[in-house]
Chain A
Amino acid sequence: MTTTTQNAMIRFENLRKEFTLSGTTFTALNGVNLDIADGEFVTVVGPSGCGKSTMLNAAAGLLDPSSGRVMVDDREVDGPSTRTGVIFQQYALFPWLTVRKNVEFGLELKKFPAKERRVIVDHYLELVGLTRFADALPKELSGGMKQRCAIARAYAVNPEILLMDEPFGALDALTRVHMQEQLLETWTKERRTVMFVTHDVDESVFLASRVIVMAARPGRIFKEIKIDLPYPRTEEMRLSDEFTRLRAQVWEAVYHQPGVAEAHQ
């Protein structure tokens, strides 16, 4: 069921993760095998508790698998790396730093000279349309602008992979659609391997070339659905019959999994 490509950028190998909460152990992920190719845009969608964020955190090196492993570019992930940028749902901007300083943060740690930092930061602020807000503090930005700043910050250190954990989950529906389009535009200009976790079926279909549908208890990959819509994705595509068909297919896989109905009652 899972595809195996020769040169996977991210490879989940038999990943298993258990958590112990007040004495009870439960399996967040079991037997996850997945390859994501270089430059591919993959979305992971599924009911809550299916371990999709756990999967992403394992790829980010933010948590250790119980067994199995995650490979990035054929090297086992054993901690966070600037090769993998992460974008969090709660934006995670440093509130005491201006937009510019936030984007610059990773570059400072990499000891880029000031002049170079300036050029890179200006470039990414322009890419996400925040040039005018370079000196604003995060508290002065809207949710969408905060997330654009976080995207610029992740891009600035030039990662090969972007891991996005429900990045638009806290935004209103209109902003969300706008952000999706803008993300794809950014991604088209500067292509990275993207793993995008979401609970929004529309979003998963619109963004990805492949949708991974997860199942819960224990968290595992339930189905893979290929999205054969060309990039750039347009508004017309969103309204096309093909999109509706794919959307129905993903919907079916997310909401009518064996056991889902029972589990929710």
Chain B
Amino acid sequence: MAPKDTLSSVADPTARRERSAHHQAPRKSPAPASKSASKKSATGTGKLSRKALVAINFASVAAGLGAWAIVSSAGIVGLPGPGEVLIRGGELLADGTLAEDTGASLARVLSGFLIGSLLAVPVGFLMGWYQIGRAIIEPWVQFFRTIPPLALLPLVMVTMGIGETPKIFVIFLAAFLSCVISTYQGVVSVDKTLINAARVLGANSMVIFRRVVVPASSPFILVGMRIGLGAGWATVVAAELLAAPNGLGMRMQQAQQFYDMPTILVNVIVIGILGLLMDRLLLMIEAHLTRWQERR
């Protein structure tokens, strides 16, 4: 999962390109000059076909699982084996615990993420579009950006209690901060020539905003949302470790007290898979909405 590096590189628009290139690398051949031309043939490093790369992906995962099985059966660190974890996963699935926890964690992260992104887009636009807006908002964003949202949890719990509100709030904050900076970057980096081109075709400020600035910054906004979702996901699990009636993080914390290793591992794996799925989903949406972009 990516959230660790994403938090630090939120403000860097070039990080975007590297990241998406990195994410696509295992699936597509790296850096296709034109998508259609080089999809099938191996380009870039030039030796392996896409099929071979996918096969290597699977082989790598299988090898990892094998190593895990060996380590656990040898009893080296007291780790339960894949089979045991799979059985525990089946039990948790059957008694509805897993569904309940997943639902609770997802509900928290999605509500925080949605509120955060929805608020971040207009605020980011205000910062990018109006100098005065930027002057007012920027110090706050820059300050809170340096604080890991989780570090605010004790404060938030004292002021907001231990219900859903403080958890959703820290997720909101995590999502908001990554998305707002990205949106702002998108607005300020809109090509001035495009704005002039619209002006000479008769566009007023409102039209320029709606038909040039918004679409031109959409790739940045989507990247911000993706980073925000990753950050939110990382935050929710940790927030649940502290105090929650349910959720994947809380279940792990509870299992830890009973030395219930299989349950912990089931939740770790579910967290990883869900995080990966959400990231891929947003990546697909992003690729679809920004397919007009020139990719190098």
Residues from chain B with a CB closer than 8 A to the CB of A51 are: none
CB–CB A109/B212 < 8 A: no
State whether A82 touches B201 (Cβ < 8 A). yes
Give the shortest distance, in Å, between B245 (CB) and chain A (any CB). Answer: 45
CB distance from B198 to the nearest CB of A (A): 7
Q: Quick one: which of B193, B197, B294 has the most chain A CB within 10 A? A: B197
Checking B193, B201, B212, B291 against A106 with a beta-carbon cut-off of 8 angstroms, the contacting residue is B201
B200 and A85 contacting across the interface, CB-CB below 8 Å: yes
**Is there an interface contact between B294 and A95, defined as CB atoms closer than 8 Å?**
yes
Q: How far is the CA of A85 from the CA of B197 in the complex (A)?
A: 9
Question: Which stretch from A86-94, A247-255, A256-264 is at the chain B interface?
Answer: A86-94
Count of A residues near B, CB < 8 Å?
A: 26
B201, A153: Cβ atoms closer than 8 Å: yes
Which residues of chain B (210-239) have a CB below 8 Å from chain A?
211-212, 215-216, 218
Residues of B within 8 A of A170 (CB): none
Contacts of B215 in A (CB 8 A): 94, 96
Tell me the bound Cα distance from A84 to B191 in angstroms.
Answer: 21
Give bound CA distance, A85 to B293, whole Å.
26
B203 shortest CB reach to chain A, Å: 6
Contact of B196 among A62, A81, A85 (CB under 8 A): A62
Chain A positions within 8 Å of B, measured between CB atoms, are 60-62, 80-82, 84-86, 88, 90, 92-97, 105-106, 109-110, 137-139, 153, 157
28 contacts between A and B (CB under 8 A): A62-B200, A80-B202, A82-B200, A82-B201, A84-B200, A85-B200, A86-B196, A86-B200, A88-B196, A88-B197, A90-B193, A92-B194, A92-B196, A94-B194, A94-B197, A94-B198, A94-B212, A94-B215, A105-B198, A105-B201, A105-B211, A106-B202, A109-B201, A109-B203, A109-B207, A137-B291, A137-B292, A153-B201
